[in-house]
Amino acid sequence: MRNLLRLIFQYRVLILFIIFEIFSFVLIIVTGSYQEARFYHAGQKLNNTISNKFQNTRDYLSIYKENKRLAEENTRLYNLLKSSYRISYVDSSFAGDTIGVRQYTYIGARVINNSVNKKYNYITLDKGSNQGIEPEMAVICDEGIVGMVKTVSENFCVALSLLNPRFGVSAKIKNSGFYGPLSWKETSADNAIMEDIPHHAIINIGDTILTSGYGSVFPENCMIGVISKFKLKGGNYYEITVKLATDFQRLNRVQVIRNEFRNEIITLEQSTANE
C-alpha cells in the first residue's frame, strides 16, 4: 500500500492530466450534439471495420475448409472411376463374366512448396510413406498431369515437376493414337515438347494430348494439354509444342496415384530383360 501511494504521488501530475482530459472529452460529447454525432459515427465506422475483418476471416476459414472437403471428395470419386480398375475375365469363353480388380489408388495431397522458374523444378507435398506414398508414383491435379514422386519421408514427399527436364512421360495424340515422349525444354511454364511423331501422322492445332498409359506410372488418358504448334524436324518426325493444361503457378491440391500392379510389371520386365 505504501508503494502504491508513493507511485501515485510520484505521477500525480500525469494522473490529474489524464483525468481532466477524460472529463473534458465526456463533456464535449454529452453537451454537443454535433460532437456526439461525430463520435457515434466514428464508433459505428470502427465497429463495422472490425466486424468486416472478423467476417472476412470467417469466410476465408470457411473457404479453406470447403476446398479441403471438395479435395477429399475428388479423391473418393477418383477411386470410384472405372479406369481405376483392371477388368479381368473370369472365363475367356464368356466375355460377359468379368471382375474388376483395383489397379490405381488415388491419395489426395496438398502442395506446400512449388517452383516454376528454375531449371529443375520440384513440388513438395504434405503426404509421405505413412500415408502410402512411394517413389515413382504419378501426381496429377484436376486440370492435368503434374509430375512424379521422387523422394519420400514419413510425412512428406518431393515430386519431379513436369517443368523439370529430368521428367518425361509417354504421350499420345487423342485423335490419331500416335504416341511419343513428352518433356519440358526449359522454355516456359506453359509449354512442353512432344517428339518422335512420324511425318505421315495427321496433326492439327488444338488436338488433345493425353498420357499413353505405357510404363507403370501414369494411367492411360490423363490430360496433358493441347497442340499449339508443330514442325517437321529432320524431315521424318514432328516436333510438337504442347500447351499444358495444368497451371503450375496455381497448384494447391493434387492426387498421387499408386499402380497396384507396378512391382509385378517391373519384376516381370526385368526378368525378361535378364534372359
Cα–Cα distance measured from residue 189 to residue 195, given in angstroms and rounded to the nearest whole number: 18
pLDDT tens sequence across 206-215:
999 999 999 8
- Output 184 or 66, whichever has higher pLDDT: 184
Task: Tell me if 244 sits within 8 A of 191, measured CB to CB.
Answer: yes
Q: Is the pLDDT of residue 45 over 80?
A: no
Neighbours of 158 (CB within 10 A): 18
Distance CA 223, CA 96 (A): 30
Joined together, the cell numbers standing for residue 13 give 501530475
CATH of domain 84-263: 2.40.10.340
3-state secondary structure the chain: CHHHHHHHHHCHHHHHHHHHHHHHHHHHHHHCHHHHHHHHHHHHHHHHHHHHHHHHHHHHHHHHHHHHHHHHHHHHHHHHCHHHEEEEECCCCCCCCEEEEECEEEEEEEEEEECCCCCCCEEEECCCHHHCCCCCCEEECCCCEEEEEEEECCCCEEEEECCCCCCEEEEEECCCCCEEEEECCCCCCCEEEEEEEECCCCCCCCCEEEECCCCCCCCCCCEEEEEEEEEEECCCEEEEEEEECCCHHHCCEEEEEEECCHHHHHHHHHHHHHC
Average pLDDT over every residue of 121-126? 96
At residue 71 the predicted structure's pLDDT band, cuts being 50, 70 and 90, is confident
Residues 157-173: tens digit of each pLDDT: 999 999 999 999 999 99
Whether 195 and 179 have beta carbons less than 8 Å apart is answered as no
User: Position of cell 496433326?
Assistant: 203
Residue 214, all three cell numbers: 505405357
pLDDT, tens digit (0-9, with 9 covering 90-100), for 230-268 = 999 877 899 999 999 999 999 999 999 999 999 998 899
Indicate the pTM of the whole model.
0.71
Burial (0-12, 13-18, 19+ Cβ within 10 Å), 116: middle
For residues 201-209, give the mean pLDDT.
Answer: 95
